[in-house]
Structure 1
Amino acid sequence: MADITMPQLGETVTEGTITRWLKQVGETVAEDEVLFEVSTDKVDSEVPSPAAGVVSEILVQEGETVDVGTRLAVISDGAAAPGAAAAAEAPAAEAPAAEAPAAEVPAPEPRQVPDAAAGEPGGDVESGPQAPAPELEQAPAARLPQTGPGEQRNGSSTRPGDDRPPARPGDGGGKVLSPVVRRLIAEHDLDASQIAGTGAGGRITRNDVLDLIDKRSAGNGASAPAPAAPAERRAVPAAAPAAAPAAPAAAALPAPRATERDTVIPFTNIRRRTAEHMVRSKATSAHTMVAVEVDFSAVEAVRSAEKGRFKESEGFGLTYLPFISRAVVDALGEFPNVNSSVGDDELIVHHDINLGVAVDLDFEGLLVPVIHQADGKRLRALARDISSLAGKARGKRLTMDDISGGTITLTNAGPFGTFITVPVINQPQVAIISTDGVRKKPVVVELPDGTDSIAIHPIGVLAMSWDHRAFDGAYAAAFVARIRTILETRDWAAEL
């Protein structure tokens, strides 16, 4: 018999939400066969079974959020336990009253498409469009140790009559809250004392908070606590990266209401998180954009000549994205301030270049896996990493290491022939570069004798959204111009 517990999916992850059980009570599971899917603040993952046997108990239902180490299920050896079949057939009405709300409908399995990369001129689409990349949130606060019944968490005793300040929205109201729940309560000005918890012992789960937020957005004021007074609101969410103070929030507009002629599509976990990250990024960084046209003739000459042999030896196609990645990494060596984060009245320049590459999940969401130490890799190695991470993202096999520590991001909508994209910065980074469509265009070229002529060349736009707090326009323009020069003049045949 084996106990299945909530895995530690990263050093800073303290809890997870069961989104789907792939096996039910009474069913047989093989060792390393996927048993359930779990969602955390950082990544959605499929968790394999550590042992073979029969699922005899499921202790945590879909939609529930529990701490790392919590028992989730029991796998017994051989045949199912005597009560397993009965438990599997028990009507839903007999479920415990404190069961968590139903989980969201899982996103459909992503279609198999090649890695995210710019499309060939006039060729087939090689990846889905890339939306702005979600930020990588800072680590949640470490969970404090449990205390005795007569102690506070700061070690002092609690006695009747002790003076305590009144609870404020977001401070937990004296309840023990996870970092994720505490952040959601703070960001939406909720009062924890007015939220009914459905977790073990009345604990407030993430779904409890999200249900209340959804009800309030739909205009059900009776079920939502009144917003806190302005003086009680927190200026910056607990999980926001260290940065300059955010601008005052604008007055909230009433949420739109659906009519009978509208279709309502509930946000999935990844859609909700992306929305939160994008709004927070726009409120944090002074977004500015710069763009250049790039002549990809030098790249295309090598790519066209080598793509057949490359695919035969590597097993995947050679796209524009590895070339662009290599040029970006080299340009960062000359313009290091682009590879940075804004701290508390300071610019933190990162010496490691960890390149994030946005990957579309069949229009259902976006993940940004990271190529660590990208400055130490040549073209072929970068191409392998891009293909591998894209495959892992679409197969829900990314680990915390795969999505952590990015210092600059590439996002790509080129396969759909876009002209120019202005992406949202992936916090806490200060720059994100978009790769748009490459297509053949007439251009003016200078002949050896100094005269001009018209030629047909593959042309594309590279655009960069950057944080004006970190550097100014001249620095940003010089950086993207250096990327263009590298792409247009390097001997790319030597790279392969």
Structure 2
Amino acid sequence: MTNTVEITAPIEQEGTKAVVRNWLKQIGDRVREGDALVELETDKVTQEIAAPCDGILSEIAMEDGDDAAPGAILGRMRVETIGVAAEAATASPSQMQPLLPATTASSYYSPAVRKAAEEHGIDPAALKGSGMGGRVTRADMDHALEASRSRPPAPQSQPAATEQPFPVAPTDGKSRIVPHSAMRLSIARHMTQSLATAPQVTAVFEADFTAIMRHREGHKDRLKAEGVNLSYTAYFVAASVAAMQAVPEVNSQWHDDGLEIFEDVSIGVGIALGDKGLVAPAIRQAQNLSLETIAARLQDLTNRARSNALKADELKGGTFTISNHGVSGSLLASPIIINQPQSAILGIGKLEKRVVVREVDGVDTIQIRPMAYVSLTIDHRSLDGHQTNAWLTEFVRILQSWPQ
């Protein structure tokens, strides 16, 4: 007796769709309930879809690069009680149809590939597939379409000097095109939309980190023994909460009929994921948390972000964002594009020793201090310069007067 169980994309996911990125099992593989079957990439996270039961993977309905809406059928499993081994050996992807006559496995294409072939007139048989077993995927078809669009037009007999506004790379030069991930495309759309939506202005201050460095030196070993890394970012989150009390309008969202000022300060912290992009999971209700708790939350979110284990809900609900771009070496980044629909984003530059002038007993002295540029980029619809500078003034004051 054989029963078929569908493997579906989660109903609750970040965004309206996900993209199939990698099947971890092949047709005919025997799997146990909970085994990871396939990876889905949304615009924020990559998640593994687990087997809903014990059985055999009998059908792959969506290939690498296919869009998977919430609840979409990704594949099917067979749950068998008789003749499992014999039938597993003959399992095949019944959903795949040959588009063009051919003798290789790559001539069988998913519905998404066949649709792209019909819409764009691209023969998948002419492409080198990047999917399992060399299978052509929808991502391969999209890549081929973009490549065809980017080719320079045929030269005219007498081209005018103004017809080519941008230089074109030599046709005999070597290059390669790396297909965009769903996360990279989402970041591109989000950044473009943010700049198109809001007039953005950046103010820059300088902060002396002496006080927080001394505090950290005095407490980091104790917290390390408890399994918590007391990072500088924890201080930035706590100081941002304090600055919100002085200028609550920064913790807001613009609406055409008014400015929505939030009582809860939920701070998103940018976490780089290498070449894949970045995410900004939110520390909810940070105004109720101690420095130690903030540090523990940051450590947990960072670890899970880099292992693709964040939950979709953790990427929502932020009211303000911090970009600690200095960890990768930059002194100043401007503008750091606002994470819409928030009204502001804080940037922290590289910490380095600088020569500064400090007054001691009425006399100017030259000292070496650990300094960093801090910036606040605002939605100028929501905030003006005096609010921006007042917030940064309080933020810097909190850092520089941190009690020991």
Measure how far apart 1:425 and its partner are.
1.0
* CA distance 1:84–1:382, change in 2 (3 Å): farther
Measure how far apart 1:446 and its partner are.
2.9
Measure how far apart 1:50 and its partner are.
3.0
Measure how far apart 1:213 and its partner are.
6.9
Measure how far apart 1:457 and its partner are.
1.9
TM-score (normalizing by structure 1): 0.66
- The alignment status of 1:462 with 2:394, answered yes or no, reads no
Matched length: 365
Question: Whole-Å Cα distance in 1 between the matches of residues 248 and 138 of structure 2?
Answer: 39
- Cα pair 2:30 2:55 within 8 Å, conserved: yes
Measure how far apart 1:99 and its partner are.
4.5
* CA distance 1:29–1:426, change in 2 (3 Å): same
- The alignment status of 1:62 with 2:64, answered yes or no, reads yes
1:87 is aligned with what amino acid?
A: S
Aligned residue in 1 for 2:175: 262
1:472 is aligned with what amino acid?
A: D
Aligned residue in 1 for 2:210: 297
Aligned residue in 2 for 1:3: 6
Secondary structure, aligned partner of 1:36? strand
Q: CA RMSD in A?
A: 3.4
Secondary structure, aligned partner of 1:363? helix
Aligned residue in 2 for 1:214: 146
Q: Percent identity?
A: 31
Q: If each structure's helix is expressed as a fraction of its own residues, which one has the higher value?
A: 2
Measure how far apart 1:66 and its partner are.
3.4
Secondary structure, aligned partner of 2:26? coil
Q: Deviations over 1:352-404 (max 9, x none)?
A: 21111111112321111111111111111111111111111111112221101
- The alignment status of 1:357 with 2:269, answered yes or no, reads yes
- Map 1:312-323; keep pairs closer than 5 Å: 312-315=225-228, 317-323=229-235
Aligned residue in 1 for 2:188: 275
Q: Deviations over 1:18-63 (max 9, x none)?
A: 1111111122333333221112345432223333333222222222
- Cα pair 1:341 1:348 within 8 Å, conserved: yes
- The alignment status of 1:25 with 2:30, answered yes or no, reads no
Question: Whole-Å Cα distance in 1 between the matches of residues 62 and 119 of structure 2?
Answer: 24
Secondary structure, aligned partner of 2:52? coil
Measure how far apart 1:101 and its partner are.
7.1
Secondary structure, aligned partner of 1:100? helix
- Cα pair 2:59 2:76 within 8 Å, conserved: yes
Measure how far apart 1:406 and its partner are.
1.3
Question: Whole-Å Cα distance in 1 between the matches of residues 115 and 230 of structure 2?
Answer: 43
Aligned residue in 2 for 1:479: 391
Q: Deviations over 1:395-428 (max 9, x none)?
A: 1112221101111111112223322112111111
- Cα pair 1:438 1:458 within 8 Å, conserved: yes
Of 39, 45, 49 in structure 1, the residue corresponding to residue 41 of structure 2 is 39
Question: Whole-Å Cα distance in 2 between the matches of residues 263 and 350 of structure 1?
Answer: 46
Of 372, 384, 403 in structure 1, the residue corresponding to residue 296 of structure 2 is 384
- Cα pair 1:290 1:463 within 8 Å, conserved: yes
- The alignment status of 1:95 with 2:111, answered yes or no, reads no
Aligned residue in 2 for 1:405: 317
Secondary structure, aligned partner of 2:366? strand
Aligned residue in 1 for 2:279: 367
TM-score (normalizing by structure 2): 0.79
Secondary structure, aligned partner of 1:314? coil
* CA distance 1:446–1:220, change in 2 (3 Å): closer
- The alignment status of 1:82 with 2:84, answered yes or no, reads no
* CA distance 1:444–1:96, change in 2 (3 Å): closer
Question: Whole-Å Cα distance in 2 between the matches of residues 402 and 288 of structure 1?
Answer: 28
- Map 1:319-330; keep pairs closer than 5 Å: 319-330=231-242
* CA distance 1:213–1:488, change in 2 (3 Å): farther
Q: Deviations over 1:152-184 (max 9, x none)?
A: xxxxxxxxxxxxxxxxxxxxxxxxxxxxxxxxx
Secondary structure, aligned partner of 1:301? helix
Question: Whole-Å Cα distance in 2 between the matches of residues 254 and 85 of structure 1?
Answer: 55
- After the TM superposition, list the runs of 4 or more consecutive aligned residues in structure 1 that deviate by more than 4 angstroms: 77-81, 83-86, 88-91, 193-196, 205-213, 252-258
Measure how far apart 1:217 and its partner are.
4.1
- Cα pair 1:64 1:101 within 8 Å, conserved: no
Unaligned runs of 5+ in 1: 104-192, 197-204, 222-251
Aligned residue in 2 for 1:430: 343
Measure how far apart 1:488 and its partner are.
0.9
- Cα pair 2:324 2:347 within 8 Å, conserved: yes
2:240 is aligned with what amino acid?
A: V
- The alignment status of 1:416 with 2:328, answered yes or no, reads yes
Secondary structure, aligned partner of 2:276? coil
Question: Whole-Å Cα distance in 2 between the matches of residues 446 and 6 of structure 1?
Answer: 63
- Cα pair 2:253 2:261 within 8 Å, conserved: yes
1:7 is aligned with what amino acid?
A: P
Aligned residue in 1 for 2:401: 489
- Map 1:245-260; keep pairs closer than 5 Å: 259=171, 260=173
Aligned residue in 2 for 1:452: 364
- Cα pair 1:443 1:454 within 8 Å, conserved: yes
Question: Whole-Å Cα distance in 2 between the matches of residues 290 and 101 of structure 1?
Answer: 51
Question: Whole-Å Cα distance in 2 between the matches of residues 207 and 95 of structure 1?
Answer: 15
Question: Whole-Å Cα distance in 2 between the matches of residues 308 and 372 of structure 1?
Answer: 26
Aligned residue in 2 for 1:154: none
- Cα pair 1:434 1:463 within 8 Å, conserved: yes
Secondary structure, aligned partner of 2:397? helix
- Map 1:43-192; keep pairs closer than 5 Å: 43-77=45-79, 79=84, 82=87, 85=90, 87=92, 91-93=104-106, 95=108, 98-100=111-113
Question: Whole-Å Cα distance in 2 between the matches of residues 380 and 301 of structure 1?
Answer: 16
- Cα pair 2:355 2:368 within 8 Å, conserved: yes
- Cα pair 2:27 2:92 within 8 Å, conserved: yes
Aligned residue in 1 for 2:157: none
Higher relative contact order (CA 8 A, sep 6+): 1
Secondary structure, aligned partner of 2:57? strand
Unaligned runs of 5+ in 2: 97-103, 122-136, 154-163
Question: Whole-Å Cα distance in 1 between the matches of residues 288 and 144 of structure 2?
Answer: 48
Measure how far apart 1:468 and its partner are.
1.0
- Cα pair 1:46 1:397 within 8 Å, conserved: no
